[in-house]
Amino acid sequence: MRLRDTSEGELLARIFPIYAGSGHVDEASVPVGPGDDAAVVGAPGGTVVATTDSMVRGLDWRDDWSSAHDVGVKLAAQNLADIAAMGAEPTALLVSLAADPDLQVSWAEDLARGIASLASRAGAPVVGGDLSGAPAGVVVVSVTALGDLRGRAPVRRCGARPGDVIAVCGSLGLSGGGLALLHRGEGTLSDAVWDEPGCSDGGGRGSDAGSSRSAAVRELVTYHRAPVPPWQAGPRAGACGARALIDVSDGLVTDLTRIARASEVGIDLDGTVLRERFAAGSLTVALGEREAWHQVLTGGEEHSLVGAFAGEASLPPDTDRPWVVIGRVLPLGSGGPHLTVDGEVPGDAKGWDHFAR
Amino acid sequence: MRLRDTSEGELLARIFPIYAGSGHVDEASVPVGPGDDAAVVGAPGGTVVATTDSMVRGLDWRDDWSSAHDVGVKLAAQNLADIAAMGAEPTALLVSLAADPDLQVSWAEDLARGIASLASRAGAPVVGGDLSGAPAGVVVVSVTALGDLRGRAPVRRCGARPGDVIAVCGSLGLSGGGLALLHRGEGTLSDAVWDEPGCSDGGGRGSDAGSSRSAAVRELVTYHRAPVPPWQAGPRAGACGARALIDVSDGLVTDLTRIARASEVGIDLDGTVLRERFAAGSLTVALGEREAWHQVLTGGEEHSLVGAFAGEASLPPDTDRPWVVIGRVLPLGSGGPHLTVDGEVPGDAKGWDHFAR
């Protein structure tokens, strides 16, 4: 069944229960949920953190690379990461879908299930949204995420100071590596790599097959399709006094340069740690050493958190997804550079731009 | 210059000042504006009201009917109306643009100016957003609006009670009437109607030419392109104890039926008042009596506010855009009907559906 075969009301009647089933919502957290002119969401800290991100079929995903569920997970994840990068806890999501009426209703339902799965894990229910038609072939999905700081100050990009350590929570380069593989035709939804043993967990991560190249390909592509960044680490970092935070959306070098510019400091990264802790393993197995290193520095859409802390003792004691020190903050020399790796300006580190392709 | 000729950073550098110029923003209202991972907006009432709406080129507007500025005004207006319909004051907007890289940069700037003009009037600055590429020809704009209830309870759709009066603030049928004219080829951007005398105010509303058909056409089409609904009336209605509120987005009959269903009541509208106060005048001059009446009952995208009040004495004393009593709330007979006009079920009152066209 396609969207044009149903009415807006019938479609909402299918999608509301998917979101409603994504977790317990109490009256204080969400006084008014979907179905009225607007939602009302608790803002106990007296402010609300808000961000929005969109995904466009054919540009931000390809249907032969990503399922609707993947798209939902990814879009929710990147919005949750932006909330986390302010040091805030997510409280609610709003979802807009503009779609060709020829789109399958089941696609819209799977999209909702993907969003709902992360909404449930994050404790941030879907409280509203919008449905629109769109020209033939077009599907655009937008999510707005709201968050609460619990009365703490937001963690800006501008707070890093010389002497701080730079630390990352989560992976680097997996999403960019997965994208590079998909561009080569590896790991697409029809690829036999998904039929191999050890794949039942969806990515082979940590399985016995982890040392094989197929498992590495699956791990990278799975992360690219449906990243699950450590958004829980954001408010914990804020509570521990993080000086600056950002999520890795356009590549480590690009995003840390944003912190360095906003803070008017220099940042020097430790190439040895980055190679040993992030480039080695699946990235190198799947892509080779040179491309793995490139992805660690420049791979976008990872949505891990990276930031500046007053010292190693200030790092949040997160045993599940530990913070790894990858560099330090320096005084900015006249004219820069803002970012170096082992004291050198990285040569091949262009970030992502949405229009200049 | 087209989007593809600029970088995302350069485009943001053009658009940020347009939004920044839309009004004074103090630190308490917006602790963190655009440029970080997420914005932080004041929520003094301890909750945040949130809604989102999108517009799609070719479906929600046509470039030969609406300028980019019109699209910006309209999208901001419909979001502000949703905030108002909860009884809340708007506090901030977020804007997402997904566009063909061939789009003119000047179009994106005019869109921002349109949004900024309403943001300024509403005291709800643009605090964040997102830019994405899109397939050839595609432009999708999404706005999320946030609002604050100042500690009051939200005005739901479900609070109408038998004995209440139904009142509307703002116009009815103008937008739907304007759309009907545009579909007939009248009032398009190239139409000579815009060259006539008395048109310098953009719509001829209230001018000496107001009695002519051209002026009526201009008034309807101008309202359709860039409605300015009375969002200030929403929080005033909430403060006066409005029982239920909704904005007229899908047509008076459809939207009041939503209040009637949610409140489990019947609503009877006064056909004489509706004809004399809303259908007469420009609507009838431009469209004739029969079509004018149809548009009053079914015209969408008007974004006026309509709701239930305990009695005429409860109506907000708004002299600028007064509330007009158009009906009353009745006990619901078994099996309905939920909505009648002079006791009869209106025959020809289908609302708007985004997929079934």
Residue A204, pLDDT > 50, answer: no
- Where residue B206 falls among pLDDT bands split at 50, 70, 90? very low
Most B-contacting residue of A26, A29, A48, A261 (CB-CB within 10 A), to test interface: A48
Q: Given this model, what pLDDT does residue B199 score?
A: 54
Task: Name the phi and psi angles at B48, rounded to 5.
Answer: -130, 135
Q: Given this model, what pLDDT does residue B3 score?
A: 96
Q: Given this model, what pLDDT does residue A205 score?
A: 47
Q: Given this model, what pLDDT does residue A176 score?
A: 98
For B39-48, what is the mean pLDDT?
96
H-run or E-run covering A262 = helix A252-263
How far is it, in rounded angstroms, from Cα B276 to Cα A179? 63
A346 belongs to a structural domain: no
Q: Which of B82, B142, B145 sits opposite A142 (nearest CB)?
A: B142
One DSSP character per residue, A170-194 reads S-SSHHHHHHHHHHTT-S-TT-GGG
Q: Given this model, what pLDDT does residue B333 score?
A: 85
Residue B357, pLDDT > 50, answer: no
Average pLDDT, chain B: 92
Which of B148, B163, B190 is where one domain is finished?
Answer: B148
A352 belongs to a structural domain: no
Considering the domain architecture, whether residues A7 and A141 belong to the same structural domain is answered as yes
Residue B269, pLDDT > 50, answer: yes
Considering the domain architecture, whether residues A100 and A204 belong to the same structural domain is answered as no
| C-alpha A281: how far from chain center | 21
Q: Do B43 and A38 touch (CB under 8 A)?
A: no
Q: Given this model, what pLDDT does residue A232 score?
A: 94
How far is it, in rounded angstroms, from Cα B269 to Cα B208? 33
Q: Which of A48, A130, A149 sits opposite B48 (nearest CB)?
A: A48
Distances (CA, A) of A189 to A104, A106, A208, A286, B80: 18, 17, 22, 17, 42
- Where residue B21 falls among pLDDT bands split at 50, 70, 90? confident
Residue A287 in 3-state DSSP? helix
Residue B147, pLDDT > 80, answer: yes
For A329-334, what is the mean pLDDT?
92
Q: B353: nearest CA in chain A?
A: A8
User: Count of domains in chain A?
Assistant: 3
Considering the domain architecture, whether residues A184 and A136 belong to the same structural domain is answered as no
Considering the domain architecture, whether residues A31 and A71 belong to the same structural domain is answered as yes
Q: Given this model, what pLDDT does residue A202 score?
A: 46
Q: Which domain holds residue A333?
A: 165-173+228-341
Percent of chain B at pLDDT > 70 equals 92
Considering the domain architecture, whether residues B189 and B239 belong to the same structural domain is answered as yes
Q: Given this model, what pLDDT does residue A27 score?
A: 86
How far is it, in rounded angstroms, from Cα B331 to Cα B163? 8
For B174-188, what is the mean pLDDT?
96
Considering the domain architecture, whether residues A26 and A105 belong to the same structural domain is answered as yes
How far is it, in rounded angstroms, from Cα A241 to Cα A225? 32
Express each pLDDT in A211-263 by its tens digit.
589 999 999 999 999 999 999 999 999 999 999 999 999 999 999 999 999 99
Express each pLDDT in A285-307 by its tens digit.
999 999 999 999 999 999 999 99
Q: Which of A44, A144, A355 sits opposite B133 (nearest CB)?
A: A355
Residue B207, pLDDT > 60, answer: no
Express each pLDDT in A70-126 by its tens digit.
999 999 999 999 999 999 999 999 999 999 999 999 999 999 999 999 999 999 999
Percent of chain A at pLDDT > 90 equals 84
Cα dihedral across residues A205, A207, A211, A216: positive or negative: negative
For B243-263, what is the mean pLDDT?
97
Q: Given this model, what pLDDT does residue B348 score?
A: 60
- Ranges of beta strands (E only) in chain B are 39-42, 47-56, 89-99, 126-133, 139-148, 165-169, 244-247, 266-269, 305-309, 323-330, 339-341
How far is it, in rounded angstroms, from Cα B267 to Cα B254? 12
A57 belongs to a structural domain: yes
Tracing tokens 């399922």 back to the chain, one arrives at A67
- Find the CATH number of the domain harbouring B277: 3.90.650.10
Q: Which of A41, A50, A98 sits opposite B94 (nearest CB)?
A: A50
How far is it, in rounded angstroms, from Cα B26 to Cα B92? 12
- Judged by CB atoms within 8 Å, which residues 24-53 of B form the interface with A? 31-32, 36-53
Most A-contacting residue of B7, B302, B306, B355 (CB-CB within 10 A), to test interface: B355
Contact, B99 vs B133, CB < 8 A?
yes
How far is it, in rounded angstroms, from Cα B244 to Cα B236? 13
Please list every residue in chain A whose beta carbon sits closer than 8 Å to the beta carbon of residue B43: 43, 45-48
Considering the domain architecture, whether residues B242 and B305 belong to the same structural domain is answered as yes
Which of B148, B165, B190 is where one domain is finished?
Answer: B148
Tracing tokens 């089409």 back to the chain, one arrives at B221
Considering the domain architecture, whether residues A124 and A11 belong to the same structural domain is answered as yes
Q: Given this model, what pLDDT does residue A58 score?
A: 96
One DSSP character per residue, A126-144 reads EEEEEEEE-STT-EEEEEE
Q: Given this model, what pLDDT does residue A278 score?
A: 97
Q: Given this model, what pLDDT does residue A355 score?
A: 53
Please list every residue in chain A whose beta carbon sits closer than 8 Å to the beta carbon of residue B133: 56, 59, 354-355, 357
Q: What is the largest CA-CA distance in chain A?
A: 64
Q: Given this model, what pLDDT does residue B89 score?
A: 97
A355 belongs to a structural domain: no
For B105-124, what is the mean pLDDT?
97
Q: Does B54 touch chain A (CB under 8 A)?
A: yes
Contact, A262 vs A156, CB < 8 A?
yes
- Where residue A207 falls among pLDDT bands split at 50, 70, 90? very low
Express each pLDDT in B23-36 by its tens digit.
678 888 999 999 99
**In this structure, what token pair is assigned to residue B195?**
């060259």
Considering the domain architecture, whether residues A233 and A186 belong to the same structural domain is answered as no
* Cross-sheet strand order for the sheet of A39-42: A39-42, B47-56, B139-148, B89-99, B126-133
A348 belongs to a structural domain: no
How far is it, in rounded angstroms, from Cα A284 to Cα A277? 11
For A270-277, what is the mean pLDDT?
98
Q: What is the ipTM of this complex?
A: 0.92
Q: Do A49 and B40 touch (CB under 8 A)?
A: yes
Q: Given this model, what pLDDT does residue A211 score?
A: 53
Considering the domain architecture, whether residues B292 and B159 belong to the same structural domain is answered as yes
Express each pLDDT in B149-168 by its tens digit.
999 999 999 999 999 999 99
Please list every residue in chain A whose beta carbon sits closer than 8 Å to the beta carbon of residue B135: 56-59, 137-138
Which of B130, B148, B166 is where one domain is finished?
Answer: B148
Q: Do A246 and B53 touch (CB under 8 A)?
A: no
Tracing tokens 């991100």 back to the chain, one arrives at A53
Helices (H) and strands (E) in chain A, counts: 10, 11
Residue A314, pLDDT > 60, answer: yes
- Judged by CB atoms within 8 Å, which residues 111-150 of B form the interface with A? 127-135, 137-138, 140, 142, 144-147, 149
- Where residue B209 falls among pLDDT bands split at 50, 70, 90? very low
Q: Do A36 and B154 touch (CB under 8 A)?
A: yes
- Find the CATH number of the domain harbouring B40: 3.30.1330.10
Q: Given this model, what pLDDT does residue B347 score?
A: 78
Considering the domain architecture, whether residues B245 and B303 belong to the same structural domain is answered as yes
Residue A146, pLDDT > 50, answer: yes
Considering the domain architecture, whether residues A8 and A143 belong to the same structural domain is answered as yes
Q: Given this model, what pLDDT does residue B355 score?
A: 53
- Ranges of beta strands (E only) in B29-108 are 39-42, 47-56, 89-99
How far is it, in rounded angstroms, from Cα A87 to Cα B157? 35
Q: Given this model, what pLDDT does residue B233 score?
A: 96
A357 belongs to a structural domain: no
Q: Looking at the DSSP assignment, which residues form a beta bridge with residue A307?
A: A167, A245
How far is it, in rounded angstroms, from Cα B296 to Cα B169? 14
